[in-house]
Amino acid sequence: MEGKATYKQSLPIINSSLRNLQVMVPDMSFSTDSIRNSFNYNNQLIDAVNSTVKVFKNLSVDDQLAVLWFAYTEMGNSITPAAPGAARLQLAEGLLNQIKQMSHSEQLQMMRDLAAKKNNQISRSYGILSANTKLAFWYELSELMVKGLVIPMPFNYQLSRDGAQVLESIKQLDFGQQITILRKVVTDMGVDPLAD
């Protein structure tokens, strides 16, 4: 039995290997404090989104439109790829074409009507769009404003204190939260003709 190691001879090698293995595996234990802190952090993020949306909805219609304008012009290039509905923007193409045919004063009134949830043909057409298509719709509308095909944002428009606070809050959040806020506010605009 010279070529074979015995059980007793193998034990020191196995124990040595186990000690090395224990050093390589990080401590994966969780305490109730670490779970609570993670839960509190997630709740704070949800609260930040919900409180920002709440303040946004209490803004004047013109301030809501201004916050959307500033948000889309500052982060618009990132919004489009994040909105899976952007690929289906053709669903909103007819609506966008109607808007392009309007006078500037009619375009402004249409945007105000969407934000104020006025029950008219444009608001109902907008209301049937999916949340992501609505997100892409406002991005496209901001692009049309930049091109001058839709009434541009007044150069000297001054946001209210609350409007500026909402915009600053949006800027402070991570990208996913920003998209969540924008999706929530644009989804709530217009009138869903299928709702009771």
pLDDT digits (tens, 9 = 90+) for 101-130: 999 999 999 999 999 999 999 999 999 998
Question: Which pLDDT does position 21 carry in this prediction?
Answer: 42
- Give the domain range for residue 94: 49-187
Residue at 44 is within a domain: no
Q: Which residue has the higher pLDDT, 76 or 19?
A: 76
Q: Is residue 9 one of the residues assigned to a domain?
A: no
Would residue 27 count as lying in a domain? no
Pairwise pLDDT comparison (144 vs 72), residue with the higher score: 144
Q: Is residue 31 part of a domain?
A: no
List CB contacts of 189: < 8 A, sequence separation 6 or more. Answer: 114, 115, 117, 123, 126, 134
Q: Is residue 23 part of a domain?
A: no
Query: Which tokens belong to 72?
Result: 């889309």
Cα–Cα distance, 164 to 144 (Å, whole number): 24
Determine the Cα–Cα distance for residues 6 and 167; give it in Å rounded to an integer. Answer: 73
CA-wise closest residue to 52 among 134, 159, 170? 170
Q: Is residue 162 part of a domain?
A: yes
Residue with tokens 């109607």: 98
CB atoms within 10 A of CB 50: 13
pLDDT on residue 72: 83
What is the share, in percent, of the chain residues with pLDDT greater than 90?
A: 44
- For residue 174, is it within any domain? yes
CATH value at residue 157 = 1.10.2090.10
40 compared with 90, residue with greater pLDDT? 90
95 close to 122: Cβ distance less than 8 angstroms:
yes
> Which residues lie below 8 Å from residue 35, measured CB to CB, with a gap of 6+?
none
Number of structural domains found in the chain: 1
pLDDT of 22: 44
Which segments within 8-159 are labelled E, that is strand? none
Q: What share of the chain is helix, strand, coil (3-state, %, to 5)?
A: 75, 0, 25
Residue 20 lies in a domain: no
pLDDT score of 54 more than 70: yes
pLDDT, position 88: 64
Q: For the chain, what is the radius of gyration of the CA atoms?
A: 27
